[in-house]
Amino acid sequence: MDPADRAVRRFLRDSMVARLATLSPKGVPAITPLWFAPAGKQVLMTSRLDGPAARNVRANPDVTIVFHAERRKTPRKVLRVHGHAVLRTDRLAWLRLFRGEIPRYYLALNTIRASLRDPGSLRRRIRYYAERSGGSCVIQVTLDDPQLLPLPGLSLGT
Looking at residue 129, its pLDDT comes to 66
Q: Is residue 36 part of a domain?
A: yes
Distance CA 5, CA 13 (A): 12
Give the mean model confidence (pLDDT) for residues 84-91. 96
Q: Is residue 22 part of a domain?
A: yes
On average, the pLDDT of the chain sits at 87
Query: Binning pLDDT at 50, 70 and 90, where does residue 101 land?
Result: confident
For the ranges 34-43, 68-77, 125-134, the one whose mean pLDDT is highest: 34-43
Distance CA 12, CA 72 (A): 11
Residue 47 pLDDT > 80:
yes
Domain that holds residue 28: 6-150
Q: Is residue 158 part of a domain?
A: no
**What is the percentage of the chain residues whose pLDDT exceeds 90?**
53
How many Cβ atoms are within 10 Å of 52's Cβ, its own excluded?
A: 13
Question: pTM for the complete prediction?
Answer: 0.83
Q: Is residue 18 part of a domain?
A: yes
Q: Is residue 157 part of a domain?
A: no
Number of domains present in the structure of the chain: 1
Q: Is residue 155 part of a domain?
A: no
Q: Is residue 39 part of a domain?
A: yes
- The CA-based angle 79-82-86, given to 5 degrees, is 125
Q: Provide the angle, in degrees to the nearest 10, between the axes of the packed helices 120-131 and 109-117.
A: 100
Q: What is the CATH number of the domain that holds 72?
A: 2.30.110.10
Q: Which residue has the higher pLDDT, 6 or 57?
A: 57
Query: Binning pLDDT at 50, 70 and 90, where does residue 158 land?
Result: very low
Q: Is residue 139 part of a domain?
A: yes
Residue 132 pLDDT > 70:
no
